[in-house]
Structures are given as C-alpha cells and as structure tokens.
Amino acid sequence: MDISPLQQARYAYKPKLPRMLRNGVGSVAVIEGDATEAASDKEKIKALFPNTYGMKEVYFEEGESTAPKKKHVVGVILSGGQAPGGHNVIAGLYDALKEDNEESVLLGFKGGPSGLVDDNYITLTGDTIDKYRNTGGFDMIGSGRTKLEKEEQFKVVAEVAQKHGMDAIVIIGGDDSNTNAAVLAEYFKENDVPVQVIGCPKTIDGDLKNDDIEISFGFDTATKVYSELIGNIERDANSAKKYWHFIKLMGRSASHIALECALQTHPNVCLISEEVEAKQMGLTAIADYIAESVMARASLGFNFGVVIVPEGLIEFVPEVRKLIEEINETLAKRGDRFSKLPTWDEKLGFLTAALSVESMKVFNILPYDIQEELLMDRDPHGNVQVSKVETEKLLSNIVRNRLNQKRQEGKYSGKYNPMHHFFGYEGRAAFPSNFDADYCYSLGYTAFLLISYGYTGYLSSVRGLAKGVDEWKAGGMPITKMMDIERRGGEDKPVIKKALVDINGKPYKYFAEHREHWARETCYCSSGAVQYFGPPEIADRTTLTLSLENS
C-alpha cells in the first residue's frame, strides 16, 4: 500500500498516556474497590456467572507494582465492525507487554473470534505494529462476527491457548463481543483453564456506555467524520437552495451518533429514536414533525433543508416496533418454512396467519421495498438488519404525501425535492482522532496491567475523559456488572446492557433547547475535517456529548 504524507505523519505520532501511567508498568499499583452487581436481572446473571459474578472494581494509581514479573503469552482479537483506534489498542497492549518483559509474546488471531477457533494467527512484532500505529481500520489482523457462545468453541479455544502457552486473551469489541468475553472467562474459571480474558470497549455506535465506560472508542472519530460530511451537505444545500437532504446515520439502535452530529452541525431536523419511543410517536406524527419544518422554512423562502435520521429509528416507532418484534419471533421459530415459500402472495398469507391484525395493518401500509427489507435475512442476533431498511426514503415519501395534502388545503405552496444519503462505512476506518489514538493506546496499556495483576472477566477502563489526558484514570470493571437479560432470537440471553440516549441528560436537553430555532432558520455549522495537528483545543478536543455530560 502506498503511504501518503499524512499516514507517514500519523506513524510518528506518540499517543499520550495518562500521567499516572507514564512512569511505566513497574510504577503502577492496584487498588480494589467495592464488590459489584449486575445492571439488572441480578439473580439471573449471578446464576449464569457463579465464578465471575460480584468481583471488585479495580483502579490503578502511581506506586510500586506488586504484579509478578514473568513472561506472558497473550492472544488478541478484533471482533465486530471496524472502529477507528483498534490498532492503537493493540499497540498499547504490545508496548506494555514488552516493557514489562521483552520475552513476552503477543499473538494476533486473524479474522476475529474465528481465528481463535481455527488457530489462525500471526506473531506480532515491533515491525508489524509500527506499520499500523495511529491508523484506521482493522486490517492488521482483520475482524469477524463469529460468536464465542458454545461449549465446543470454548473447548477448542482452551486447546489453542494451551498449545501456545497463552495465559491471557484480549477481546477488542462491542457489547456482544465483550459479553462473549465474559462467558469465555466464566467457562475458563469453571473448568480451571489458566487463561485470563480481558475486554476493551469498541463501537462507533456509542451504546457501550455506562458509569464506568464513559465512551466507547471510535465514536469520537466517526462522529467527526460524519459531521464533516453533513457540514459539506449543509453548505451545498445553502448554495443550491433547492433540495431537502435526508441523511441516515449508522448507529444501530441508539441515537448517540445522530445526537452528537446534530450538536456539531445544527441541522433543521434531527430525529432521536429514544424521544420517538418516549412520546409514542407513530409514522404519521414523525412525518408531520418534519413537514412542519419544511413548511416553516418555505414560508421564509427556504425550500431546502437537512434532516438527520438515526439508523435504528424504525425499531422505536411503537407500531413498527411491535411489527418487527412479531416478525422476529415468527422467523426465529418458522423461518425455514417461510423462506421456502415460492411467491410473495404465499408469504403474505403466511404472515397474515402468524402476525396480529394490528401488525398486518402496519405492514400493509408500508411500501413494497420496505416490506421486503423487513423480511431480509436476520443479523447474527436474529433481528431485522435496520441498516438495510431505507428509513430515510420511507420518511421523505410520507412527508411528500403530507405536504401534498397541505397544498390541496391551501396551506403550503413551496417546493420539495428530497435527496437521500446513508453515512456508515465512511466513518468506521478513518485515521483515529488524537483523542481516539490516545484513548485506545491507554486502553491497550491498561489491558496489560489487568493481565499482569491476574484479573479475568474485566473490561479495560479509562475514565475522566472530558479532562485532559494528564487527568485520565485507568482501571478495570467486571463485565458482569454491566449485564442484563435481553430477548434475542426468541430466547432470553445475557448481554451487556445497551446505553440509549438519555432524554433527561444534558446533551439532549441542549439539543432540545435549540432545535426549534434550527428547524426554521439556516443555522448550519461546519466542523470541517478531523484535525490532527495544531492547538489542543482543536486537535485534541473530544465530543460535545462528553463535554456536556461533564459540564
């Protein structure tokens, strides 16, 4: 691969560690805090994780290390979708490992969890690591979405670990991947397999978030990339003055990405799925809300605008969510039979018999292409692949119908020309921002500290992120503390509790205070490209969400 000047410069960037870690692994002491409990469903989680439930919080501080000095052999995998900064987690882990003992070994298992099962790995060296420092993507060792959730898989992983003399595995992933990490750690403890399992919090979606994980890595970079693109479209809209741009943003269920991008760019409309659910807004109510902005701006001579739509919105619309839940349950139980039906009419007949009358009414008013998208192959959890449902087109069409009604009533005379965009993959493999480069390096470094002190079933944690790097605090949190029970594929499963947008939180309230003005006026704000060089207040700044939460 050819090397650009920017990439060459990023190779040379030295990630900043929290002050408490800068004197090296030999100068980091550990403090144990209180015993922990699950986020909810405490008794069920405790029953599922009897060997790793209730472990104590862990904090690191400056002081003499009491960790035993020895050669470590550690395996690492990247799991799930890409997020900017993954390579720096590996770099931080590698550097701490080698600093502690030059003879220690880091094995990179290729293609995600399947690499562990298939024993497909490379031995990571300094030369390899140096080629990927501060770069985006997961191409150092690749990633994958194989789930480690079956006993036969755990047995194979234990055999692979024993073969290589591994004493620890680091899983870099999102909520599902780290749920798998907790299950694997529990299996190892139950079966006296001397291998530790440590997780690192990754996802651009921002929904791996709680009191202990202030932000998942990649969110900062991805939202800056999307905000640059939105700002460009806003500038174009204000130049051409003839299009309404409907922009769907990646983010799975939660609306964290949409909210952060709205705070940065000030679009005319930004839908927040969690608000839609709280207010029980149906498709008609949502369309009316957007149409009000279109008409208000038209009255001022502005026949253009920007609407941000979160990827998971469709699941939060009450009548559509009920429909999706029924479809998921039906296909989880009888999907094979459904897929073999040769004609659309037969499939409709099958659904009519299986779904409630109310859900079929909703299904029948949806455009044919949306109906097809709701019946596509499920994701790995057995759910609708919401990223493939073209919600932005569905909404723009319903808005058109509402505007046509208003036109017939003599209440609207403007022009309405919608354009559609979906931003997702554009932000997943960008060069990590300075914040993500520093944060990820610290997460990797902290993961090694957890290994060195003998912990397992923990998530690497760095807190105080709204402050400067000097003040960041490193530690670890038992993964079981973050868990609850969720319905998936027709079954109850233990999962890390997803964090949705808090509509009582400061970021949402700031947005709510300003959106009425943004809806009518042209108040677009262009954040520009991600800045890697310059004053810290520009190059090292983090998200507005994190800043507002800590204000």
Helix H, strand E, coil C: the string for 81-134 is CCCCCHHHHHHHHHHHHHHHCCCCEEEEECCCHHHHHHCCEEECCHHHHHCCCC
127: annotated active-site residue? no
Give 78's strand partners.
172
d(CA 515, CA 344): 43
Under DSSP, is residue 52 helix (H, G, I), strand (E, B) or coil?
coil
Rg (C-alpha) for the chain, rounded Å, is: 24
d(CA 481, CA 457): 10
Among 167, 205, 438, 540, the active-site one is: 205
The angle at the Cα of 260, spanning 255 to 263, to the nearest 5 degrees, equals: 125
What is the CA 284 to chain-centroid distance, rounded?
29
Give 487's strand partners.
492
**Dihedral angle computed from the Cα positions of residues 157, 162, 167 and 168, in that order, rounded to the nearest 10 degrees:** -10
**CB neighbourhood size of 551 (10 A):** 10
**Residue of 51, 55, 90, 58 lying closest to 74 (CA atoms):** 90
**Residue of 283, 325, 290 lying closest to 306 (CA atoms):** 290
What is the CA 131 to chain-centroid distance, rounded?
26
Helix H, strand E, coil C: the string for 475-544 is EEEEHHHHEEEEEECCEEEEEECCCCCCCCCHHHHHHHHHHHHHHHCCCCCCCCCCCCCCCHHHHCCCCH
Instruction: Provide the b/e sequence for 271-290 (b: ≥16 CB within 10 Å).
Output: bbbbbbbeeebebeebbebb
Q: Is 30 exposed, middle or buried (0-12, 13-18, 19+ CB in 10 A)?
A: buried
Phi and psi at residue 110, in whole multiples of 5°? -85, 140
**Dihedral angle computed from the Cα positions of residues 75, 79, 84 and 88, in that order, rounded to the nearest 10 degrees:** -10
What is the CA 35 to chain-centroid distance, rounded?
27
**CB neighbourhood size of 541 (10 A):** 18
d(CA 232, CA 112): 35
Helix H, strand E, coil C: the string for 305-362 is EEEEEECCHHHCCHHHHHHHHHHHHHHHHHHHHHHCCCCHHHHHHHHHHHCCHHHHHH
Give 492's strand partners.
487
First-residue to last-residue Cα distance in the chain: 43
Strands 168-173 and 73-78: parallel
Q: Catalytic positions, please?
A: 205
